[in-house]
Each structure stands twice: as structure tokens, then as C-alpha cells.
Amino acid sequence: MKKSREFDNVLNECLERLLVNGETIEQCLASCPKQATELKPLLQTALVAKNASVIQPRPEFKARARYQFHLALQEVAAKRSRPLFGWQPRWATAIAIVLILLLTGGSTVAAADNSMPDGPLYGVKLATEQVRLTLTPSELGKAQLYASFTDKRVLEIARMAKKGKSEQVERTTQQLNAHLAMITQLVSAYEEEAGVLMAPAPAKVPGSSRQAEGKSFPAKQANMRAKLRTDMAYYAIHHPAVLRAALRQAPEAVKPALLRAIAVSEANYEKALEALD
């Protein structure tokens, strides 16, 4: 907790220096080298947001975006008892910035979707993914998003390998590993919840609604689960194949990192599929 507060203080100071005092990102990072790796994408995101703030979208777009955002917040609040912004505090600034961008036109966010780990908009891309996850209330919905993110991470790994950038390959592989682990965790949480809802109610218990809940459990969830299982089965074959193809063309210096990426994808897809079986 102390470490998180320390990072937040450093981040706030750097944001003030960057956005108010006009210092460069390099100047900010030079004064806090220990946090530079984590600070850089957030500061890049903040700078992009500042430059995008001159955009004046149509009033109807802003009104529609605000309505959709507040509607999503209400759905999340109804689903969870814990606070909405429950992710790591260091993401709060980046996510708030992305929400501002979404409400002011969203063109930067759209451009960031195609960015790579070595690009200036990659921080916006990751923050946008965090926003989407937060505004998705169900476990299966989040798992489906994580599955789509694995597709992006594999493409990024292949691109970075082609450029000979081992550090970016390693970092993106860690993200891929985290995505796949979250899919397994979310599916397990869903299965546990579904098992409780579908279990028969104890006989002759006054006021028990367990059985009614089981009957009303939405078929939509079952369809989402089936689609996720189909997607994961495809990715389990396709993604290692993409990485092996990249391995054949990659510089020798990058191949060890690529081999680790292949091992991570194979092992974790197997775990995710076991959870879905």
C-alpha cells in the first residue's frame, strides 16, 4: 500500500510538471528513474490527452457518450458491492484520461488501437482496454474481452520479434500470460457462481428462491460461454502457430524470448480450455 501511494505521489508530481509547467517527459523521467518504466506510458497518455483537448465534438456526440458511460457505471454498480475503480491506483489517471478522450471525440483512442508496444500511443491502447474491462460487469464478458486482447498481444509479439526488440517481446509476453491467467480465473468464478445458481434448492425450505434462480439463469450466459470456448479452442491452435512462424523469421537474439512466448501460450491455453471443459 505504501509503495502504491508513493507511486501515485510521483505520478501526480510528474503530471503537474508535464501539463502545467511545460516540462518534457524525458525531464520528468530523469528525476524518478526507479519508476520510469511504469510512468512513461501514463505520461505519454496524459500528453496525448492534452493535445487532443482542443477537439470540439458535436454536442450530440458528447451527450450520447456521457449517457452510455453513466449507464455502464450503473450496471457495474448493480453487479458489484466493491468500488468501481478497484484496479491498481496507478491506472486511475490513465483511465480517466481515456474517458476524457472518449467524451471529446475518441479519434486518438481509435488511432491507438493499432499501435505497437514501441509506439507513443500504446499507453492509450492499454488504458482503453482497462476501461472496457471495468465497464463490463460479467465474468464471462470480461473473459471474452481478455480473449480478444490475447489476439492483439500475439500480433504485437510477432511484430516486435520481427523488429528484433527482445525487451518488448518479453514485456508483451508477460501481458499475454496475465490475460490468459485472468481468463481461467474468470471462467472458474463463473462456473462456481453458475453451479450455485443451478443447484436444486433444499427440500421444504420456506422462502427459498434458489430453484427459481436456477431456472431463470440466463441462456445468454450459456451462449457466451460456448462462444468463448470456441474462440479459445481456435486461439490455442492459431496463436502458437503465429509465434512459430515469427520464430522462423526472427533475428537470433530474439528467439529465446519468442520461445518463452510460445511456451506461455501453449501452457496457459491448455489451462483455460480445461476450465471451460
pLDDT for 221-239, tens place per residue? 888 999 999 999 999 999 9
Question: Are the CB atoms for 176 and 261 separated by under 8 Å?
Answer: yes
Q: Of how many residues is the chain composed?
A: 277
CA–CA distance, 91 with 93 (Å, rounded to integer) = 6
- Tell me, yes or no, whether 276 lies in a domain: yes
- Tell me, yes or no, whether 3 lies in a domain: no
pLDDT for 170-195, tens place per residue? 999 999 999 999 999 999 988 887 76
- From the list 51, 39, 29, the residue with the least C-alpha distance to 93 is 39
What domain count does the chain have? 1
CA–CA distance, 124 with 273 (Å, rounded to integer) = 30
Indicate the pLDDT class of residue 69, thresholds 50, 70 and 90.
very low
- Tell me, yes or no, whether 24 lies in a domain: no
- Tell me, yes or no, whether 153 lies in a domain: yes
- Tell me, yes or no, whether 23 lies in a domain: no
CA 28 to chain centre: 26
Q: HSE-up of 231 (CA within 13 Å, CB side)? A: 18
User: What's the domain range around 229?
Assistant: 139-199+211-277
- Tell me, yes or no, whether 91 lies in a domain: no
Q: Which pLDDT belongs to residue 157?
A: 97
- Tell me, yes or no, whether 269 lies in a domain: yes
- Tell me, yes or no, whether 181 lies in a domain: yes
R_g over Cα of the chain: 21
Q: Is pLDDT at 51 greater than 70 in this prediction?
A: no
Q: Is pLDDT at 79 greater than 60 in this prediction?
A: no
CA–CA distance, 126 with 130 (Å, rounded to integer) = 6
